[in-house]
Amino acid sequence: MSNKVLIVIGDATETLDTMYPYYRLQEAGFEPVVTAPEKRRYQMVLHEIKPSWTITKEWEGYTLDCDVPFAEVKEDEYAGILFSGGRAPEYIRYDEDLVRITKHFFGSNKPVASVCHGVEIPAYADCVRGRKMATVPKCKFDLEVCGGTFVDQPCVIDGNLFSGRTFHDNGSYVGPWIKALEAARDKS
């Protein structure tokens, strides 16, 4: 089995949703591979709902380069996938190659992680029907209208699917996802 794991991003991907699992994968001996619509540098953001606000405040975060664009991803070369959050999933979910990639990981039962707005990608790809997931509450509709069940918990595990609500849940769902990747690697 491959040691490579895909991390799906686009412009306005949430920095902590992305970088925490990126480095945790490295610690576990995996190679995180960043995939995005095209091969270039992407601007990440920081999101937080301030106590006195009813909407999300956004700041510029770090930048991250795409290693392989969606159109060039060969799914069989990867052990698992992470759908990062932020605003990016709302815009990139319509990419036909990303839909193909998403369906592969769900269909082949490889470990899948999703956080925050990341749910918008597997929801659009029709991969959440009958599945339980955590996501940011404002994406509950996206999940439910596509046949999934919203669970307001820091870590929801449904078969090969590991999900959290926001970056605040990184310490809850990323570890079990990496353990699933390790278990799959150890079997091969």
List, in order, residues 6 or more apart from 120 with CB less than 8 Å away.
89, 90, 93, 139, 142
The token pair at 148 is 């999934």
CA–CA distance, 62 with 136 (Å, rounded to integer): 22
Q: Which residue among the candidates 47, 104, 117, 168 is catalytic per the annotation?
A: 117
Question: Is 117 an active-site residue?
Answer: yes
Cβ atoms of 165 and 135 within 8 Å: the answer is yes
**Which parts of 37-167 are beta strand (E)?**
41-48, 57-65, 68-69, 80-83, 112-115, 132-133, 149-150, 156-158, 161-164
Q: Which residues are known to be catalytic?
A: 117
